[in-house]
Amino acid sequence: MPLLISRLRFAVTHLCVFAGALGFLVQPATAQTAAVPAKQEPAALLARAKEAMGFGRARQSVVHYRAVAAAEQNYQSDRSYPPFFSAMDVEEAWFDPQSATEQVSTQTTFPGGGPTPAQVVITDATRAFSLADGHLNPLPPVSMQSRNLNPWAMITDWAAAVGDVRFAGSETYRDYSRYVLVRNAPGGQQRLFLDPKSGFPIKLDFEEKHYLWGQRHIEYLYTNWTLAGGVMVPGSSFRLADGKTEISRTTGDVELIARSAAPAQALPETPAPAPDALPRFLQPINPTVTPVGPKTYLLTNPGYTEAVTEVGDEVFLFDATQSEERSRKDAAIITKLFPGYKKLTVVVTDLAWPHVAGMRYWVANGVTIIAHRAAREFLQSVVDRKWTTAPDLLEQRRAHAKLKFIGVDRTQQLAGGAISVHAIDGIGSEVSLMAYLASDRLLWASDYIQTVDGPTAYASEVWQAVQRDGLHPERTAAEHLPLTPWSKVEALQGK
């Protein structure tokens, strides 16, 4: 789980994957084509849903609730396959049906840390803001995940846009026929499933653009409805991606309180961000170039550092992060740094999703990928994934692009021994690699040294692997660590 220290706090405020629905275009097999009866008009169905949930009882009140959510960290766990660890969020929230704003205060516990200080997010139908020190700061659309888990907010948003909603027939979901409403949201088409028997919303359904998988089918499911505080709320809400649960929320105490007793939730007049806007650590901002040796450089932007070196006429790039666009920028820099090179090899040291999001670009260009032997199945799945909504370069070259893979079990010598790749093999760093550039006395530590401000288990495991394999670095760098004297890592051992 290499992203844990430096990136988890963003992830648990709902930064590990990314909003921006691009249209779930599959039409129900049983869709009705006749004129829509009055009782199936979108306005009538949405009004019935609000009635079933108890909006009339809320009137001028605010819905105040407490919940606990398990946010599965599939994108950064210690394996690329389940089980994955979860960040555990303890939430207190206030939803105002009149203004359609929701404020959620979250404290998070994750392996080895927490609960964190409360982080506050306020949303309306299209925007999210963090509240810190009295200031509201815009957030990317991924922060709308918590809002979508609350069907009170979701139904309010649909009802406000009823003029753009149409009835799309019926479809069987979870053993029963459901009415389906459709609307075109900023990111694409969304579908809302309603229960004909009771009027309750069952799920929200759409496709969402994703930086690694191209697009994913997203579902927000509402179940275990309970009467609490005089209104009906789902005791359980879930976010599923491609059919697999990513967030599971359990709602506990619910009450209606006076608006004057709730936190103020007024939001500034600012436009909504683009539906596919990324958090800063995933944005492929132009990298800066830092020389490390005569032919070795660090390529750094606010999200990630990578390393690149040339031996003879072959270039080695250590990690391919963020996106195809980042890899294109890396490729342009490499061409300027090493004009006339004959071959390029990418060493993938860790499998967290943002760490490999640029790999498809290099596979599309016929580059060989070196990674831990256990990484092959996951990397093959990344290559095999079809990008249907916005085909990338690999998709465009699908007929000829194949994964050329070299697996490392323990140690692999490259470029006649000028570079060696080593399995770290600590209890927290299994199936991950580090690399040693002998002429520069540089250790590329993957993502497993993130700080030298104090001892960490990750850094100790890297240090132990260096001792085990008889390496003698003078400096180290990693995806979130600038060029650092190795002596600082040495000094932390035994503390």
What are the residue boundaries of the structural domains of the chain, listed by start?
A: 4-260, 281-492
The number of CA neighbours under 13 Å toward the Cβ of 204 is 24
Position 19 pLDDT exceeds 70: no
Q: What's the pLDDT at 75? A: 97
Q: Say if CB 121 and CB 104 are below 8 A apart.
A: yes
Among 45-54, 139-148, 427-436, the range scoring the smallest mean pLDDT is 139-148
Work out the percent of the chain whose per-residue pLDDT is above 90: 86
Question: Which amino acid appears at position 51 of this protein?
Answer: E
Distance between CA atoms of 278 and 283, rounded to whole angstroms?
Answer: 6
According to CATH, the topology of domain 281-492 is Metallo-beta-lactamase; Chain A (3.60.15)
Give residue 277's pLDDT. Answer: 84
Is 399's pLDDT higher than 90? Answer: yes
pLDDT digits (tens, 9 = 90+) for 49-104: 999 999 999 988 999 999 999 999 999 999 999 999 999 999 999 999 999 999 99
- Comparing C-alpha atoms, which of 73, 49, 218, 67 is closest to residue 141? 218
Give the side-chain half-sphere CA count within 13 A for 288. 6
* Residue 157 pLDDT greater than 50, yes or no: yes
The yes-or-no verdict on residue 214 having pLDDT over 50 is yes
Residue labelled with tokens 């691009």: 22
Phi, psi of 101 (to 5 degrees): -100, 145
Beta-carbon neighbour count of residue 198 at 10 Å?
A: 12
What do you get for the CA distance between the two ends of the chain, in Å? 23
Label residue 32 by pLDDT band (50, 70, 90).
Answer: very low
Q: Quick one: which of 120, 106, 13 has its CA closest to 68? A: 106
pLDDT for residue 272: 83
The pLDDT-based confidence of 23 (bands split at 50, 70, 90) is: very low
pLDDT surpassing 70 at residue 413: yes
Least confident of 7-11, 249-253, 434-438, 449-453: 7-11
d(CA 298, CA 288): 8
CATH of 4-260, one of 3.20.20.120, 2.50.20.10, 3.40.50.970, 3.60.20.30: 2.50.20.10
**How large is the average pLDDT for residues 436-455?**
97
| Secondary structure element (H or E) that encloses residue 156, with its range | helix 151-160
pTM score over 0.85: yes
Percent of the chain with pLDDT over 70: 93
Report which of 98, 71, 67 is spatially closest to residue 85, judged by C-alpha positions: 71
Regarding predicted confidence, which is higher, 492 or 5?
492
